[in-house]
Each structure stands twice: as C-alpha cells, then as structure tokens.
Amino acid sequence: MTRLMMCATQLASPATKTMFSRILTSGLFAGAAAGLIAALLQLYFVQPVLLHAELYEGGDLVHFGADPVTAHPDLPGMFAEPMRDGLSIIFTMLTYTGYALVLAALMSVAERQGHEINGRTGLLWGLAGFVAFHFAPGLSLAPEVPGVAAADVGVRQIWWTVTVAAAGVAMWLIAFGGNLVSYLIAAVLLMVPHIIGAPEPESFSGPVPTEIGALFAARAFGIGMAAWALLGSFTGHFWQTEGKRAGAAV
Amino acid sequence: MTTKTIKASAAGASFLPAVFAVVLGLGIITVTGHVQASGLHDAAHDVRHATGFPCH
C-alpha cells in the first residue's frame, strides 16, 4: 500500500511531469515540422512515380504490348486532387510525429546516461532512425509501387515489425554499446531478418515497368533519409531548447 | 529494504514518461502505417507506399 502510494506520488511528481511535457513538446514540434517537409518532398518527388504506376495498375497503360508506350504520360500535378494530397500531408505529419515521440523518449534515456543531445547529435539519431524504420525493412521488402505482386499483408507486417525492432536495438547497441560484443550482437540483429528472408509472393504478376518500380524505391529511400535527418536534428534541437526553458522555469 | 523500495520505485517512475511516449509514438505509427480498416487504408494509402510500409 505504502509502495503504491509512493509510486503514485512519483507519477504525479513535478519532475515526471516536466520530463513528460519535454518529450511531448519536442516530439510534437519536430514531428510536425519534419513531417510537413517530408510530405511536400514526397508529393513532389514520389507521388508522380506512384501515379504513373497506377496507370499500369489500372490498365490505362500496358507495356510489352504491340506498340511502344510513352515514358512521359500526362500526370496530375501537386494538389490536383486536394483531398487525396491533403490527407497524405496529415498522415505523413502524424507518422513523423510518432517517430519523433519515440526518438525524444530515447533521447531522454540517453541524456540521463550522460550523452549530449542537440541539433548536431540529433542528425545521427535521425540517420539511425532511418536505418531502423525505413532502410532495414526496405532492404528485403522494397518500397513497393501500387500493383506489384506481394505476399499476404499481415505476414509482411509481422516481418516488418520484427525487423524494425531488431534494427532499432542494433542502432542503440552501435551508438551506446561501446564494446565488441555489442557490435557483434548489433550485426547479427541487422542481418538475421534478411538471412531468414522477407515474405515473398508465390509468383510475379506486377504490370508496372521495372523502371518505374526502381525509381519509386530509390525516391522513397532518398526522401525518407532526408526527412529522417531533419527529424533527428529537429528533435535534438527542440529537446535541448525545451530543456533550457524548463530549467529556466524551475 | 525500505530505502531499496523507494529507490526502485523512483527509478521506475522516472522512466515512465519515456515508456509512455514510446507507446504513444508506436501507437500512432501503427494507426497511420499498419491498421487495415478500409477508411484508414485509403486515406493513408499514398503515405504508406512512399514511407515503405507494407500496404496491401
């Protein structure tokens, strides 16, 4: 009973509240800002490739037919479909806010262990986050254009989640492990999901030209890395400035 | 013993904000990236493809 009361007291303690509001505030600021930039970059660089692929997915264009198909069809521009693109912006901002909350929480743990967190070190956090959440699962489950053949989505989601978790732990071990055993465990965690292999389709049936599929994967990775670099840097920056503000208030 | 308990609960509680934020963040990512409900899937469709989530 006493212990429960003490735990409750700790939960409501000013230090806990301050820490939580610092994580939330820096996560929300960084996630919204990086998410908005990510969304605009995606709409400009990735969305046209996706719309191009959808012309093949829907059968409006067919390649390997009797006649050559133009590689430059008329595609709707940015915000030609305001609802669709608007929803994409909102969901990208939400997704990056989710990432930022995880980053800020882990930064709070790292800072307590004596590691410096700011906009510069945040850049490394962002790149590590990109590897964990985007590049590691994408190495075997390549970012896919609409219409590609793929295994059951539930099975792929399980493989994605396990791979992200393993790569996340690996990134932490590489950054903070500080000894050979940590690095070896990290290497194993990074490789094993790909040695086991991602769920693959029974047969290939995708109607989209390989040029479009390859460009889509490259663009998705490139924009993802840029957005994550910004996200890490922003989260580190806001983490530091929110800490100063909280320190000044106390 | 009492001192130990106080220390343990203090250490546990001090990590609670981080744990809660991680759960909240992963919850948001699950909703935007993974939940297959058709309304959510359609709204998040382009983002899921562009961000490398398994989509459909």
Answer whether residue A166 is part of any domain.
no
Q: Tell me how crowded residue A226 is: count the other CB atoms within 10 A of its CB.
A: 17
Token couple for A59: 């059968």
Residue type, A222: G
Asked if residue A159 is part of any domain, the answer here is no
- Separation CA B3–CA B10 (nearest Å): 10
A52 belongs to a structural domain: yes
pLDDT of residue A248: 75
CA distance B40 to chain A (A): 10
Q: What pLDDT shows up at residue B6?
A: 47
Contact A164, A137 (CB under 8 A): yes
- Strand, coil or helix: A171: helix
Question: Can you tell me the mean pLDDT for A59-71?
Answer: 83
Task: Give residue A218's identity as a one-letter amino acid code.
Answer: A
Could you say which of B17, B34, B43 has the minimum Cβ distance to residue A157? Answer: B34
CB A162 within 8 A of CB A67: no
Q: Using a pLDDT cut of 90, give the percent of chain A over it.
A: 78
User: Lowest mean pLDDT: which of A144-148, A185-189, A231-235, B29-33?
Assistant: A144-148
Interface-testing mutation among A10, A164, A172, A238, with chain B (most B C-beta atoms within 10 A): A10
Distance from CA of A23 to the nearest CA of B (A): 7
What residues of chain A lie within 8 A of the CB of B20, using their CB? 20
Q: What is the ipTM of this complex?
A: 0.91
The answer to whether residue A171 scores a pLDDT higher than 80 is yes
- Work out the mean pLDDT of chain A and round it to a whole number: 93
pLDDT tens, position by position, B13-43 = 578 999 999 999 999 999 999 999 999 999 9
Query: For residues A160 and B54, is the Cβ–Cβ distance under 8 A?
Result: yes
Q: Distance (Å) from the C-alpha of residue B29 to the closest C-alpha of chain A?
A: 5
Is the per-residue pLDDT at A6 higher than 60?
no
Question: Is residue A142 within 8 Å of A65, Cβ to Cβ?
Answer: no
Residues of B in contact with A24 (CB under 8 A): 21
| Alpha-carbon gap, residue A111 to A171, rounded angstroms | 16
Name the pLDDT band for A9 (thresholds 50, 70, 90). Answer: low
Q: Is there a domain that residue A193 lies in? A: no
Interface of B with A (CB under 8 A): 5-6, 9-10, 12-22, 24-29, 31-34, 36, 43-44, 46-47, 49-56
pLDDT tens, A84-142?
999 999 999 999 999 999 999 999 999 999 999 999 999 999 999 999 999 999 999 99
The total domain count for chain A is 1
| A244: Cα within 13 Å, side-chain hemisphere | 7
Q: pTM value?
A: 0.91
Mean pLDDT of A215-224: 98
Residue A178 in domain: no
Task: Indicate the range of A14-18, A52-56, B24-28 predicted with least confidence.
Answer: A14-18
Domain span holding position A105: 23-65+76-149+208-249
Examine the pLDDT at A158 and tell me if it is beyond 70.
yes
Q: Which residues of A71-97 are buried (b: 16+ CB within 10 A; e: fewer)?
A: eeeeeeeeeeeeebbebbbbbbbbbbb
Q: Is A93 left (phi over 0), alpha (psi -120 to 50) or beta?
A: alpha
**Is residue B5 predicted with pLDDT exceeding 50?**
no
Residue with tokens 């890395």: A225
Per the domain annotation, does A158 fall within a domain? no
Q: Is B28 within 8 Å of A97 when comparing Cβ atoms?
A: yes
Burial class of residue A11 (count of CB atoms within 10 Å of its CB; 0-12, 13-18, 19+): middle
Residues B51/A164, Cβ–Cβ less than 8 Å: no
Residue A186 forms part of a structural domain? no
- Select from B4, B46, B48, B56 the residue whose CB has the most chain A CBs within 10 Å, as the one to mutate to test that interface: B46
Choose among A19, A101, A112: nearest Cβ to B24: A101
Do the domain assignments include residue A9?
A: no
The one-letter amino acid code at A6 reads M
